[in-house]
Structure 1
Amino acid sequence: MTAIHVESLSQEIAKRIREMIRKGVLRKGDRIVEKPLCHAMGVSRTPLREALRLLCSEGLIELIPNKGAIVAQPAMRDVREMFQVMSILEGTCARECAKKMNEKSLKKLEQLFQKLEKHFQDKNHEKYMAVNHSYHTLVQELAGNKILSEVINGLRQKILLYRYRQIYEPNRLDSSMQEHRDLQDAFKKKDPEAAERLMKEHLMRQCEVLESADPETLASSRPKRSRTRDSG
């Protein structure tokens, strides 16, 4: 097996494990046992271990001597600090994006925004979050700062799990959509200050929702659907 093949395979394995964590198949504190996971994925231990090292660098798992890999259990303080940093970084992206906004860029954002509205109306949390991820990534790209993008990408995987988690809290889907409407309006008006402020508030609101969530629910990465129609 060539080095390139091992690397690409380990990336794919890491992607699948991230999904398992996000969907609650693997929960915080769970031990990741190599042999059954290798068997389930049809891979050898070499690319799996490479994937685990990658996930460890992202903060999603912990590698403990004599115990192996377990799904990370960050304290809420650590989660809040991640959101604080990300709010500053994405706020800067939003400001730069608004500064450089043109008709072509606005059209790209508007296309994603309309998809976001559709999935909101359908109450489809999964598709909403997938488009939400694309929207934030596009804002990052339109900001045009390579170094800023590299820093954000390093933190994005660490925080992504929690962004998915918070959208299932009661009424969060509604408030998230309104936050994106306000943000899109700031981009249309080419208002850098408003775009930066709104993006920061959007990120920190996600953190506040997580902090107010039931501790037992937060301890699990499995989304909890509310019984009310407007949950999210």
Structure 2
Amino acid sequence: MTSPAADDAYLRLRDLIYSGHLMPNERLVEADLAQRLEVSRAIVRTALVRLGQDGVVILTPHRGARVRVVTDAEAVEILQARAVLEALTASEAAKRATAKEIAGIRRILAGMSRRLDEGDLLGYSEGNAALHAAIIQAARHETAARLITGLRAQLVRFQFRTILVPGRAPHSLAEHTAIVSAIAARDPAAAEKAMREHLGHVSDALSHTNRRFPGETHG
């Protein structure tokens, strides 16, 4: 059983990786992390072991730890797995979302539309992440939320790539609109189908970028 300090360090270090502050293949130096997190090196070591068990960090004897790199092919597989889980959350959100939550989801979608009109693809992508997060929260399915968080974190370096595919952005907005409309209509089957189709198209778009840039190094 780990201590509260070790648990806190694990969560904070995981968040640094999930948010992209620690990049794929970046070397994780215990002394530097201990200073950054204001904990002992022993606590950092414990956190790194746990992250290694999670598959987020690679631990190599005598060489230390690095943030694990997700390959392009694995990224497509992760999106396929996310499609199943997020389809479930969309269905559950259609059943469980409050009127206030639905209004909030609609506001996020409206903001995404404005960003697209302005040509702000970075802002649109940030709205995209916020919309998915709001749907997951409205679903109140803790297990799915936890699994999705882990999967999404592994795609940090891919998060802006698909929206840059020519012609992808308008299709993305239409797909999100269909998801939100189904949730607002309290139609779980339609919400599930719309989310599955959306992430299927994201997966296709990512595969397209892989073909355009074979062997490309990211992160």
TM score, norm. by length of structure 2: 0.76
Amino acid across the alignment from 1:194: A
Amino acid across the alignment from 1:93: T
- Cα distance between partner residues in 2 of 1:101 and 1:135: 13
* 1:8 corresponding residue in structure 2: 8
- Cα distance between partner residues in 1 of 2:143 and 2:123: 29
| Aligned 1:50-199 pairs, distance under 5 A | 50-101=46-97, 103-199=99-195
- Cα distance between partner residues in 1 of 2:47 and 2:160: 22
Residue in structure 2 matching 1:34, options 29, 43, 46: 29
Q: Post-superposition shift, 1:91? A: 0.5
* 1:215 corresponding residue in structure 2: 214
- Cα distance between partner residues in 2 of 1:125 and 1:47: 40
SS in 2 for 1:66: coil
SS in 2 for 1:206: helix
- Cα distance between partner residues in 2 of 1:200 and 1:42: 39
1:72-111 CA-to-partner distances (Å, cap 9, x unmatched) read 2334443232222211111111122223455333212112
Amino acid across the alignment from 1:61: V
- Cα distance between partner residues in 1 of 2:92 and 2:37: 45
* Structure 2 CA distance for partners of 1:67 and 1:13, relative to 1, 3 Å: same
Amino acid across the alignment from 1:74: V
Amino acid across the alignment from 1:34: V
Percent of paired sites with the same residue: 23
Equivalent pair of 1:94/1:143 in contact (CA under 8 Å): yes
Equivalent pair of 1:97/1:139 in contact (CA under 8 Å): yes
1:52-85 CA-to-partner distances (Å, cap 9, x unmatched) read 4454345343112222223323344432322222
Equivalent pair of 2:18/2:154 in contact (CA under 8 Å): no
Return 5+ residue gaps in structure 2 as ranges: none
- Cα distance between partner residues in 2 of 1:7 and 1:53: 12
Residue in structure 1 matching 2:200, options 197, 200, 204: 204
1:33-52 CA-to-partner distances (Å, cap 9, x unmatched) read 51684498475644544554
TM score, norm. by length of structure 1: 0.73
* Structure 2 CA distance for partners of 1:212 and 1:36, relative to 1, 3 Å: farther
- Cα distance between partner residues in 2 of 1:38 and 1:178: 43
| Paired positions, count | 214
* Structure 2 CA distance for partners of 1:155 and 1:57, relative to 1, 3 Å: farther
Amino acid across the alignment from 1:78: E
Aligned CA RMSD, in angstroms, stands at: 3.2
- Cα distance between partner residues in 1 of 2:48 and 2:119: 34
